[in-house]
Structures are given as C-alpha cells and as structure tokens.
Amino acid sequence: MKNQVQLITYVDRLTGGTFIDLKSMLDGPLQGLFGTVHTLPFFTPHDGADAGFDPMDHTTVDPRLGDWSDVKALSQSTDVMADLIVNHVSADGAPFQDFLEKGDSSEFAPLFLSYSTIFPKGATEDDLLAIYRPRPGLPFTNVTLKDGSKRLIWTTFTPKQIDIDVHSEKGAAYLESILMAFARAGIKSIRLDAAGYAIKKSGTSCFMIPETFEFLEKLASKAKTLGMDVLVEIHSYYQDQIEISRKVDRVYDFALPPLILHALFTGDAKPLSDWLAISPRNAMTVLDTHDGIGVIDVGPHADGRPGLLDPDAIDALVKTIHQRTRGTSLQATGAAASNLDLYQVNSTYYDALGRRETDYLIARAVQFFAPGIPQVYYVGLFGAANDMDLLARTDVGRDINRHYFNKDEVSQALQTPMVQALINLIQFRNRHPAFNGTFKLDQPTSASLILEWRNGTQWAQLSVDFAVMAAKIRHSTQDAEQTFKVEPNYC
C-alpha cells in the first residue's frame, strides 16, 4: 500500500455520476493528490438500505455506476481499494429470498445464521447478554417463511442486512467469488467491513474472538495471494485495538478523531499525546468517514478499565460538537435519526469544529503527521457543512455527512483558501521523504505537541499549540529548511 494520502468516496456522491466521471475527476482537478482511492460500495444496489453496505449482488457493479471494465480502467491510473462486506448480505438478494421461499430445502439455507444455528440447545440469559452489538437490542430478526413458519435470523446491524455463515461451503464460496472479481478488476487493496462480527460462537461476545482472528488471517492470506493488501475495520477499546493491530496488516486509528477534537476544544493535548505514543504504526488514520465521529474507541472497556478519555470528558466532547454545529449534529445522532449507532456522533468534521478553518487545518496536519497512512473522506476534502436537506429527505443520521456533490460545487470548493491549503498539506505529506522514516513525539507543555519524522538527513516537524490554536511546519529542503504556518493562505 502506497505511503500517500488516500481518498475515500462514494462514486456517485463525489461526481454525481459514474466510475468514468470519478476517473476524470482524479485525472483532472484532483490529479496527483491521492495514491489510492477507496471507492465505497459500488455493488448492486449502491443505494440500498445502508448506502451500499447491504449488497444484493456483491460480484456485480451497479450498472448505474458502470461495470468491472470501468473499475479496471480506474485502477490503471490510481490504486483502488474496495470493500469486502464480510458479515452480511441484503435481505432483498436472491439467496435470502430463495430461503424465504423454500426454507431448509433452499440451496442457500446453510448460508444464513439463525438463533438455533449458534444455540442449538437454547441460550441462557448470560449467553445473550454476552453478545456484543453496536446497536440496542439483540442481533436477531423474526422472519416468516412462505410456509408460515418463523425463524430468528441473525442480523447484527439491521433487518435488511442478513448475517452469513462464513464457515459454510456456501459462505466460503461467496467470499472467494468476491475476491476473484476484485482481482480481475485490478483492485490493489480491500477493506474487510464489519469483520469483527463475522464469527459467532455461543458463550462468547461474538466479536473479535480468537476464532475471528483465525478467520481473518485465512481470508487475508487468500487476498495476498491475489496481490491485494488488507485493511480491517474495527471499532474497539483502545488496548484491544493495539492487540488487534498486531494480528492484522492494517487497522483504522479511530481514536485519533475524537482525541484531536478534545485537544482543540479544551487545549488539553495530553490524551492525544498519550495515544500517539502507543498507537498502532500500521494504521490508517482518519478524521471523518462515511460513518460518524466515533467515541467508543476512546471510552472505557465494558469491564471497567479506563479509556483514553474519562466519561465526563466524552460527555463534554459530544456536547461541544452539538454546540459547535448549532444543534444540527444533535438532529442526526442517536435516537434522533434512524440507523442508530451507540458509538458515534453524526456530523462533518468541519462542522464539528464550528467551521473554524484554522482549527480544521491543524486537525488535518496532526492527522498527516500521526503514524500511519492518512485517508481523507470526500466531504472533508472540500470542507463541507452538514447536509440538513439530505437528512430531512432520508431521516438517516449518517446522511448528514454524505452530501451529493455536483461538478460545479467541486470546482467552487477547490478555489477556497482553506481547501487550497488542505491540498498543499496533502501534497507535502505525499512528497516529503521524511515520512518514510521514523516518528518521534514530544510534549513541551500540556497544551502543545511536536510531531517529527526523520529519514536520514531529511526531516519534517509539526509544532502545535492548542492553547492559542496555532501550528507551523518546519522541514528540510535540498539546501536548508523552510517553515510555514498551518492556516488558510499559508499552507
């Protein structure tokens, strides 16, 4: 995987069009900015109940976006990452519909998990309470088959997303077919979505248990054989995340976004410093994603172990986000909107900071200097505000941060001083050789940080003072050194 900034985007929401339009964008106004483009689910249908994360057919490109030849054409000019949705398929897909029609006589019956599959002798109260789920309630949906019989089907996320038995012959063949389609299209990297929930076992949390690691290792090995790198998406307690990072190729640093917000809101950089000292070095760093701003990753463990932030600090963080967004994030978070998640606040990162441009650029600079490969979400690339019109139309909380851009909006955003400064930061991160070296962290005061990279005689240093909201970057050049401020018109 290239050590360059990545773009993560929906195909149609960045360009208003197709893979061909996305390629034109990356070959045109965004040329040279991104080493990899992570194209969020583009399968049939790309606009389902969960914006593509509930595929009816994971091996087919939604024809409204293009076909596999268009994906391959994009991969020949920019490395492409795609999602392998490990845990579930769409309730509207042909396999599950066949199961509803035929029940146990369906050839696809072994593909799906039911209550009785995991608990053939029934479950105790402790068994059910042990199951970890990122949403309220138990992970089962009551479905009625054509013959009138009822089944409790395992649905970790929503009733429209039906969990599969990855160990079944059908499940293994299904995942294999996806990997082969990706390889033929020239996809260089895959993200294993919802991978932590893939293995269910009675008497456990059914989340990142030892059998999960065994499964991920085997799946990653198959991907590597086909020439693809593997990124695992997991929200978890920070010490668990560190342990997970030792067993997989790459993980997301989901603790970074709320810790940067905490430092910017309070002037207290110690929690951020403490994390950067121990964070996984094989991370993918983010500020914003297609989901919300997570807080579970900095919170306490269920067993009582303290988190990176204490509960009062997390409460203050969430309240400050709602204040900075003038209440718009509150309308999209928790019980205020559907697709309820327990661990996130729905907002663009720019709005979460109250649209303070210097603060936003400082956050990006810290992200780019943090250990790992930076990934920039398309909404964040253009510093967009919360999309309240889209939220009103869909009543899906995460849509507040999933704006549909047209080409004119992109052109206008690219001319703004803040976006121009962000582009300059991206180019600096991509080109300076120091980022291929070693990382060093210093904290001169409780409100300041110095993040430094060195590679032989080449070096780059970011100094941030959260007390006065100022940052600068000093770096080596061929002849001497240069310094620039992290703010619009200076980056």
What are the residue numbers of the active site?
193, 233
- The DSSP H or E segment spanning 238 is helix 238-245
Task: Find the Cα–Cα–Cα–Cα dihedral 253, 259, 260, 262, rounded to 10°.
Answer: 160
Report CA 41 to chain centroid distance, whole Å. Answer: 12
Instruction: Name the helix (H) or strand (E) containing 344.
Output: strand 344-345
**Backbone region of residue 26 per phi and psi (left: phi > 0; alpha: psi in -120 to 50; beta: other values):** alpha
Q: Is 425 annotated as a binding residue?
A: no
Q: Which of 98, 88, 80, 85 is nearest to 38 (CA)?
A: 80
What's CA 189's distance to the chain center, in Å? 14
- Structure token digits, residue 17: 């069009």
Backbone angles phi, psi at 422, to 5 degrees: -65, -40
Cα–Cα distance for residue pair 6/26, rounded to 1 Å: 12
Return the bridge partners of 376, or none. 7
Q: Which residues in 133-245 belong to E strands, given as ranges?
A: 140-144, 150-154, 161-163, 189-193, 229-232
**291 carries a ligand binding annotation:** yes
**344 known member of a binding site:** yes
Tell whether 343 is in a known binding site.
Answer: yes
Angle, alpha carbons 378-381-387 (nearest 5°): 65
SS (H, E, C) 420-475: HHHHHHHHHHHHCHHHHCEEEEECCCCCEEEEEEEECCEEEEEEEECCCCEEEEEE
Q: How far apart are CA 183 and CA 66, in angstroms?
A: 17
Distance of CA 389 to the CA centre of its chain: 24
> Is 253 a known ligand-binding residue?
no
User: Does residue 161 contact residue 88 with C-beta atoms inside 8 Å?
Assistant: yes
Q: Please check whether residue 439 is in contact with residue 454, taking contact to mean a CB–CB distance below 8 angstroms.
A: no
Residue 290, marked binder: yes
Does residue 341 have a known ligand-binding role? yes
Distance CA(479)–CA(252), nearest Å, equals 36
What is the C-alpha to C-alpha distance for residues 84 and 133, in angstroms, rounded to an integer? Answer: 20
Helix/strand/coil for 148: coil
Please state the separation of Cα 222 from the chain's center in Å.
22
50 is in an annotated binding site: yes
Binding residues for sucrose: 88
Binding residues for substrate: 50, 191-193, 233, 290-291, 341-344, 398
Binding residues: 50, 88, 191-193, 233, 290-291, 341-344, 398
